[in-house]
Structure 1
Amino acid sequence: MIRHWCEAMGDTGPAYRGPDAVAPATMLQVWTMGGLTGHADHADHAGHAGHAESADEADRADRAGRGGRTEAYDELLALLDEAGCTSVVATDSEQEYLRPLRPGDEITFEAVIESVSARKTTRLGTGYFVTTRTDVRVGAELAGTHRFRILKYAPVRRQPKPPRPRPVVNRDNAGFWEGVARRRLLIQRCTGCAALRHPWLPGCNACGCPDWDTVEASGAGTVYSYVVMHHPRFPAFSPSEGGPGPAGPYAVGLIELAEGVRMVSNVIGVPYDKVRIGMPVRLVFQTYDEDLVLPVFRAGEGAA
């Protein structure tokens, strides 16, 4: 078993080979485990090639065959299940090493429920932290202690995903959003000096003329600048945009359109850490729910 462990860990330390070998300290829990089948063969689960002879040793071997779990532990988990704490997650473990273990040592162990916390509220739900302690002995001598802690909890009832926040539409920018709804990206153009502008304004910031019309953007652009958003993550956003889930950060770009104006939007199509200044992008309209369409910019193949 020492050889198997060292091979799995890639540990070639000389202390674990030869007639004077010791077991790696972090193998402490291994000697109390019953294997994949959970069998209760006394010779295997007493911890070495010796045989369990007493009733106490037989009981310990039986517990080892069940992964070291005692009947009291199983009863406690059943009580917590009845209280609604039907989910479990391992939180941490601690080991203390008091003496090296060597081939031929007869290992025995005692597992106890050391503590059950008061009811706690966590992000996963409310429940109890249960700590078990396993004392590993060679004869009467304590060789090491292993503590293992779980959270047995009642899962939080997930609320329906809230709708994505809507853009603020007012009389100055209503035409822009009407265009987006029709899958058209409209840019304001001053009828006095022909300057293009974005975002939309009630008058030209170049000549002051209040009159304007629009031109439709071609959809081509480049990343002028960008930021990577890490936090906070809003429930209304999908995982690829920083919402709950395994996906990570997302990129928000300042996009320079081929027409010369710039606008802020998401950069999609490539991982956030692959976005670069000068990267070509192409406008796409993305539907988020029944009545929300937003312009975003796709990088990657076909963006140029």
Structure 2
Amino acid sequence: MSTDGGAAVTAKGEAAVGTHGVQPAAGRTAGGDPDALGARLKGYEGRPAALDGSGKDPVNAPMIRHWCEAMGDANPAYRGPDAIAPPTMLQAWTMGGLSGHESRTGAYDDLLSLLDASGCTSVVATDCEQEYLRPLRPGDQVTFDSVIESVSGRKTTKLGTGYFVTTRTDVRVDGDLVGTHRFRILKYAPARRKPPAPRPRPVVNRDNAGFWQGVADHRLLIQRCTDCGTLRHPWLPGCNACGGLDWDTAEASGEGTVYSYVVMHHPPFPAFEPPYAVALVELAEGVRMVSNVVGVPYDKVRVGLPVRVEFRTYEDPEGALVLPVFRAVEGEG
């Protein structure tokens, strides 16, 4: 990016806010129906949003230093007696802070109120575009004017249906244009969200029905061979140590540690939001079972992490579903 005087330099998207790739061209006119609201909104195009505005502070070295520290920008052009301001600070010198600017005309607020009244109550910043004609230097006092440059027709996006509104701010020093800042938002009515997908239900059969009944009662039951005393999980019709067919149960304490784990990223599956950790947990009683680890970010799960069982209830059209998960035990391990 050039910072020399002379030819204009354009930077697009420098201050963009993440919007899931939403851009005006990505929308579509909804249904072809007459857009009476859109016609009213078009009447705001060209109306001033701010007149004869003045920066709250002149361009100054402390603000430049704070900006560069926040951005991690060590360019020597922004330090010393001949310092210039980073070009992307252009908008910063026009901000009104908590007290705002008396130069606001009210037209922009009226436009937003009209959109609010129509149901377009949500807003997201989509992109900005800046053009620089000469560098700003400490001591420059900026003035500015803003105009509602354009209002799109009605667009439908993944976020919802609404209108893109673009404002243009011309920034001057001593009457000379030094830069232009365009800022675009999408003001929209949120799309209806699909109800969350139901949690997959476990397959319950005659061999494991006792385990799932225990879970429904918030008890973690382990099979125990009555011939040799070996504990086993998952539940089986016979002992894999001695072959005995008789068994009873022991209630686990629920304490355990992560024996191994994986972090699921793909494929995404309804009712789950990747990434998430799936662990093989070794219970204090010695058996192991697979479940989710909760209560800690997925990238903080580790082998040996102490965990404790927790029973979570999920509601869906088939009724309540209780599942055992393992919560990380803070301050241990």
* Alignment-derived partner of residue 46 in structure 1: none
1:184 matched to 2:213: no
* 1:3-42 equivalence runs, <5 A: 3-9=61-67, 13=76, 18=81, 22-40=84-102
State the percentage of identical aligned residues.
70
* 1:1-304 equivalence runs, <5 A: 1=58, 2-9=60-67, 13=76, 18=81, 22-40=84-102, 65-66=103-104, 71=107, 73-102=108-137, 107-138=142-173, 142-157=177-192, 164-189=199-224, 196-203=231-238, 211-219=245-253, 220-230=255-265, 242=273, 249-288=275-314, 291-300=320-329
Give the TM-score normalised by the residue count of structure 2: 0.63
Helix, strand or coil at the partner of 1:127: strand
Shift in CA distance, 120/259, structure 1 to aligned 2, threshold 3 Å: same
Q: Which structure: larger Rg? A: 1
Quote how far apart the aligned CAs of 1:236 are: 5.3
Shift in CA distance, 70/138, structure 1 to aligned 2, threshold 3 Å: farther
| Cα RMSD for the two superposed structures | 3.9
Give the TM-score normalised by the residue count of structure 1: 0.68
Unaligned runs of 5+ in 2: 1-57
Deviations along 1:227-267, one digit per CA (max 9) or x if unpaired, are 23456777857xxxx48xxxxx5432111234443211122
Distance (Å, rounded) in 1 between the aligned partners of 2:321 and 2:296: 23
Contact 1:22 1:102 (C-alpha < 8 Å) held by counterparts: yes
Unaligned runs of 5+ in 1: 41-64, 244-248
Contact 2:277 2:298 (C-alpha < 8 Å) held by counterparts: yes
Distance (Å, rounded) in 2 between the aligned partners of 1:138 and 1:3: 17
Contact 1:187 1:196 (C-alpha < 8 Å) held by counterparts: yes
Contact 2:162 2:187 (C-alpha < 8 Å) held by counterparts: yes
Shift in CA distance, 207/90, structure 1 to aligned 2, threshold 3 Å: same
Shift in CA distance, 169/186, structure 1 to aligned 2, threshold 3 Å: same
Deviations along 1:16-70, one digit per CA (max 9) or x if unpaired, are 654x554442332244444543354xxxxxxxxxxxxxxxxxxxxxxxx22xx67
Helix, strand or coil at the partner of 2:99: coil
Quote how far apart the aligned CAs of 1:110 are: 4.1
Distance (Å, rounded) in 2 between the aligned partners of 1:167 and 1:236: 14
Q: Give the length in aligned residue pairs.
A: 266
Shift in CA distance, 38/265, structure 1 to aligned 2, threshold 3 Å: closer
Contact 1:92 1:149 (C-alpha < 8 Å) held by counterparts: yes
Shift in CA distance, 8/265, structure 1 to aligned 2, threshold 3 Å: same
Distance (Å, rounded) in 1 between the aligned partners of 2:331 and 2:94: 58
- The higher-RCO structure (CA 8 Å, 6+ apart) is 2
